[in-house]
Structure 1
């Protein structure tokens, strides 16, 4: 390393110095792979929404609307909530990072139910904050004593994903409302997968000032590559978070698609129905193969692999069959893979690949 570069890097903040430079990364999978590893929706945008995206390209020479006013108004009308209670973002991940910046100083704590979305660990580290993981041993209820009086007692906010990623489990809203009533801290409810679940928490926003609900159009509305997300909460909180957003944080295509999706949510009914039916079919087939499948309310399945091989081994074996699934090295997940629900054709490629692998290792199937 030359002297100038070394001197420059030594000027980084202590937190930034802890991060290694990212390598170039793995090559992009070829088009022949069945991609079931990142929970995208497998279908294109409905025609009416796609046309709005194409039309928006004609405005590419203009900055997008500042503060996302029209998009926020459209979301407020669609969800029956005041505009001042809504913020829009470049995916819900942008909004999540804003919450960390707004609430955490070095040494502060943030609590997350575990296993959960691993990117939260990095967000906490970037703020110099302590990341507190609370084991989720009973997926249909919350460990109230631990959240209120235990390790999470002094956390600035608590993260709940419902349905949860990577497990797909769902907590009844009555359980979440119990926590909201008993706690005076912010509860961040990430509902990225809620369109595949039995109920949502948006109606709790007006009843509880310590609730912030996050939504995204990446999973259920086929817009992962366009980046549209929303936050819903008390106007005082939402207004402060909006005030620290980047200027023009969303592009004109995202604005147009977001507004069109909100106006045509009924165009996705068959899409969502397909995901639920395929989720049920694939879960049953995996169970027949000897996997232990966690009941899911999302657009993916977490499956514990048959005894004999671990999750990483199965991920590699399926990749050899040109099928991509997710593996997590976290404690308790080493023997699992996570499989996104794709089209029927994609799942019909995945299941025979599983059967072929089992035959080679001498298992049933």
Structure 2
């Protein structure tokens, strides 16, 4: 393969574009950087930055960057195991949840098999499948964003893997437990349940993953723990599958020792993390109610740290209008039953009020 062939092969993969950088937008609008509202990436704006700075400082003081990671992995895995009622050998640590997705699609799906997911959902699933040379197939959610486990199983012929984001991104709802378990129990292949937002929902399937052969649950430190910039995630499954993936299919030292230390120390701040989660839930309710009260806007119920909403104006027009006011959202577009949707991160009240004011101006 030469360079031209290599580039040509990648033309169908798409490019992940996180949006206009805050600094560039501020310069373009002649606006102070701290006046830009970055509400497009479902980041944690509630966990006190002072707590994170203390944790980072302690971890940095204990880390010798000249050395490869040593016992840090065992410490973090042990704390996660205690948190989830698991054993350390049922935890697979990774450089972000995306590495778990990559690991599963690279090694648990045979060439020629299909990866199946509901739609709309997280864009990294089809992108990763295509990069791996796998067939990707979608089953649409209905207009209530409901999951029909029987229908998914009917469409699962040839599927070596079904991926479910739960709570789902971008629809923000948690899929019914019984429907998810129908899929787990009825599929011969593997099921990956992405619980990146589970701390904001009502339930987790981690306990089920510990005792089943075909279920892997993905978790991340990027959302509830506020470590989006450090890339730390993990998978939870039965010990045989976990150890095989971690010891035979992952590159050594995938997660830096510093990041492992930060994760372990942050688990010791669990009370603070839980307080921030509860605050997200309270502010989420205020945001949904406020959006619903605005003319031309419909907000959808949320079990995550973001809210999906539809507008009666073209979503691109609304997005651009907000951008010119220093507010960055995520463009979603069409979902079942609605053609113009955007996604906004749940934020502290002061930020939410500024967003709502800007949206009101755009919708008028």
Q: How far is 1:121 from its partner? A: 1.2
Write the distance in 2 (CA, Å) between the matches of 1:321 and 1:138: 32
Identify the residue that residue 124 of structure 1 maps to in structure 2. Answer: 129
Is structure 2 residue 169 aligned with structure 1 residue 155? no
The aligned runs of 1:106-255 (5 Å cut-off) are 106-137=111-142, 141-150=146-155, 152-242=156-246, 243-255=248-260
Q: TM-score of the superposition, structure 2-length normalised? A: 0.88
Write the distance in 1 (CA, Å) between the matches of 2:54 and 2:160: 43
Q: How far is 1:190 from its partner? A: 0.6
- Structure 1 residues 200, 328: closer, same or farther in 2, change over 3 A? same
Among 337, 341, 349, which residue is 1:336 paired with?
A: 341
Write the distance in 2 (CA, Å) between the matches of 1:211 and 1:87: 13
Identify the residue that residue 280 of structure 2 maps to in structure 1. Answer: 275
Could you list the runs of 4 or more consecutive aligned residues of structure 1 that deviate by over 6 angstroms after TM superposition? 20-25
Write the distance in 2 (CA, Å) between the matches of 1:139 and 1:260: 40
**Does the 8 Å CA contact 1:50/1:257 hold for their aligned counterparts?**
no
Is structure 2 residue 57 aligned with structure 1 residue 51? no
Write the distance in 2 (CA, Å) between the matches of 1:267 and 1:23: 32
Deviations, residues 122-144 of structure 1 (Å, cap 9, x unaligned): 10111111110111116575323
Deviations, residues 162-192 of structure 1 (Å, cap 9, x unaligned): 1100011112323322322222221111111
Identify the residue that residue 293 of structure 1 maps to in structure 2. Answer: 299
- Structure 1 residues 238, 15: closer, same or farther in 2, change over 3 A? farther
Write the distance in 2 (CA, Å) between the matches of 1:23 and 1:189: 24
**Does the 8 Å CA contact 2:195/2:219 hold for their aligned counterparts?**
yes
Unaligned stretches of 5+ residues in structure 2: 27-32
Write the distance in 1 (CA, Å) between the matches of 2:287 and 2:14: 39
Unaligned stretches of 5+ residues in structure 1: 1-6, 360-365
- Structure 1 residues 68, 13: closer, same or farther in 2, change over 3 A? farther
Write the distance in 2 (CA, Å) between the matches of 1:268 and 1:236: 31
Q: TM-score of the superposition, structure 1-length normalised? A: 0.88
